[in-house]
């Protein structure tokens, strides 16, 4: 089958023919209908996360072996099931979205259903195992397939990362109605988070980005306040948020970018007992004005993707039309390198998907 593969860190992906193994006992082979292109793919390909102060964390240190097929936002149809997979109730031909954050299955986090925080040998599809930039993908157990009938593959694929990351990060804010949540970054994840915050929590939503078109889109999705942080200085953003929130800082901030500049803005925006949730992996370090943590009783937390049960919830929200999946455009699989380059330079609105 055709696949776009990472053969060396920092190099463009290469089109290759890959043989599929026989389907293991409880596994499934999914014919890929669409594969979302995510910022994390850029980190995987570059080979490192930037930890700040010149320090790097290898993205393949977790057990990736090259060559590797990236792609963790995968939707399609079940092509074949392993001999032990029949009891799942799923059938060949079913439309599914794949949960890619597959853990070791044995550690405490996996046992608690939080495989995205697996402490053992992670098997994340598109990172440690071959992913969806291919005609087919092997999913090691059918339980990682969520039925997605009623959604097209381009609509369903981004739910596996962008969708559950939005859901999980909004949940971690523990918003109450009339709270003000400030979202930094109106890209693929932020666009879903705006809708979730508005429709599932009734909070007021402020959004910052550096692109007016993305902010206009954010307003269309229900954002109450938008800020272009190229045009408005941080201190003015802070002042306007306070004005909008009865003199208080934001009740929660979610940073979908993850740079020193966005994280510092996020921290400055917090009110008493405010929560800053770091999600984006663009990278760098952060200096905190330490007395403000105790004085505000503030919290800084991190969120990495979401759980299998959250994927089922997201699929349900999308099928019922509560959340409109945000897909910008579909491209042929072989255009993967060009799409990744556009994403790196901020040229993708919503989510781009590859169609094998
Ligand atoms: Zn992702
Ligand atoms: Zn585990």
d(CA 346, CA 46): 17
For the domain made up of 164-302, give the CATH fold. Answer: Rossmann fold (3.40.50)
Ligand nearest to the CA of 106: 2
Residues with CB under 5 A from ligand 2 (ion): 103-104, 107, 110, 118, 120
Q: Does the CA dihedral 269-186-314-342 come out positive or negative?
A: negative
Cα separation, 267 vs 90, in Å, equals 46
Report the helix count and the strand count for the chain, using DSSP H and E. 11, 17
Give the tens place of pLDDT for each residue, 135-166.
999 999 999 999 999 999 999 999 999 999 99
Give the ligand with the smallest distance to the CA of 62: 2
Burial class (CB in 10 A: 0-12, 13-18, 19+), 91: exposed
Low-confidence ranges of the chain (pLDDT < 50): none
pTM of the model: 0.96
Q: What does the alpha-carbon distance between residue 7 and residue 228 come to, in Å, rounded to a whole number? A: 38
Q: Please, where are the H alpha helices in the chain?
A: 39-46, 108-111, 153-156, 162-172, 188-196, 212-220, 234-244, 260-269, 292-296, 308-319, 336-344
Q: Ligand 2 centre and the CA of 37: distance in Å?
A: 25
Domain boundaries along the sequence of the chain: 2-159+306-355, 164-302
Query: Which candidate, 186, 190, 192, places its Cα nearest to that of 215?
Result: 186
Q: Quote the ligand 1 centre to 42 CA distance (angstroms).
A: 10
CATH fold for domain 2-159+306-355:
Quinone Oxidoreductase; Chain A, domain 1 (3.90.180)
DSSP annotation string for 249-306: -EEEEEESS--HHHHHHHHHHEEEEEEEEE-----------TTHHHHHT-EEEE--S-
Q: From 90, 84, 97, select the one nearest 25 (Cα to Cα).
A: 84
Q: Per-residue b/e over 311-331, b at no fewer than 16 CB within 10 Å?
A: bbbbbebbbeeebebbbbeeb
Determine the distance separating the centroid of ligand 2 and the alpha carbon of 190, expressed in angstroms.
28
CA-based nearest residue to 336, from 30, 38, 124: 38
Length of the chain: 356
Query: Minimum-distance ligand to the CA of 121?
Result: 2
CB-proximal residues (5 Å) to ion ligand 1? 38, 40, 161
| Cα 111 to averaged position of ligand 2 atoms, centre (Å) | 7
Q: What is the CA(57)–ligand 2 centre distance, in A?
A: 20
How far, in Å, from the CA of 40 to the mean position of ligand 2? 20
- Looking at residue 65, its pLDDT comes to 86
Rg (CA), the chain: 20
In this prediction, residue 313 carries a pLDDT of 98
Distances, alpha carbon 170 to alpha carbons 61, 166, 173, 310, 312, in Å: 29, 6, 5, 12, 16
| The token pair that represents 234 in the structure block | 């941080």
**pLDDT tens-digit profile of 339-353?**
999 999 888 877 899
Give the tens place of pLDDT for each residue, 19-39: 998 888 899 999 999 999 999
Per residue in 107-140, pLDDT (tens digit) is: 999 999 999 999 999 999 999 999 999 999 999 9
Residue 3: the pLDDT is 98
Q: Which ligand is nearest to the CA of 38?
A: 1
Q: How many whole angstroms from 117 Cα to the centroid of ligand 2?
A: 7
Q: Which ligand has its closest atom nearest to the C-alpha of 119?
A: 2
- The rounded Å distance from CA 105 to ligand 2 centre is 5
Ligand 1 centroid to residue 196 C-alpha, Å: 18
Do the domains spanning 2-159+306-355 and 164-302 agree at the CATH topology level? no
């Amino acid at each position: 089958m055709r696949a776009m593969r990472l053969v060396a860190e920092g190099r463009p992906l290469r089109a290759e023919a890959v043989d599929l193994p026989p389907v293991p006992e409880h596994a499934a082979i999914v014919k890929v209908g669409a594969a979302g292109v995510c910022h994390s793919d850029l980190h995987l390909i570059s080979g490192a996360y930037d930890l700040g102060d010149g320090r790097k964390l290898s993205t393949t240190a977790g057990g990736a072996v090259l060559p590797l097929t990236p792609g963790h936002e995968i939707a399609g149809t079940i092509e074949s099931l392993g001999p032990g997979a029949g009891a799942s109730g799923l059938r060949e031909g079913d439309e599914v979205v794949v949960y890619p954050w597959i853990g070791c299955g044995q550690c405490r986090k996996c046992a608690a259903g939080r495989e995205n925080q697996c402490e053992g040998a992670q098997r994340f599809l598109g990172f440690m195992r071959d992913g969806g930039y291919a005609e087919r993908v092997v999913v090691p157990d059918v339980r990682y397939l969520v039925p997605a009938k009623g959604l097209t593959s381009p609509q369903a694929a981004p739910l596996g990362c962008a969708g559950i990351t939005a859901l999980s990060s909004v949940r971690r804010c523990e918003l109450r109605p009339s709270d003000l949540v400030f979202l930094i970054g109106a890209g693929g994840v932020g666009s879903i988070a705006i809708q979730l915050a508005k429709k599932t929590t009734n909070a007021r939503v402020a959004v910052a980005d550096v692109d007016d078109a993305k902010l206009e889109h954010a307003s269309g999705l229900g954002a109450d306040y938008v800020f272009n942080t190229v045009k408005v200085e941080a201190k003015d953003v802070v002042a306007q948020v306070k004005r909008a929130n009865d003199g208080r800082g934001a009740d929660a901030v979610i940073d979908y970018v993850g740079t020193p500049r966005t994280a510092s803005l996020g921290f400055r925006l917090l009110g008493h007992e405010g929560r800053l949730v770091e999600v984006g992996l663009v990278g760098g370090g952060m200096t905190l004005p330490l007395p403000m943590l105790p004085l505000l009783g503030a919290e800084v937390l991190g969120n990495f993707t979401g759980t299998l049960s959250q994927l089922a919830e997201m699929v349900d929200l999308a099928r019922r039309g509560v959340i409109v999946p945000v897909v910008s455009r579909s491209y042929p699989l072989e255009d993967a390198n060009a799409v990744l380059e556009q994403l790196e330079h901020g040229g993708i609105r919503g989510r781009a998907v590859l169609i094998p």
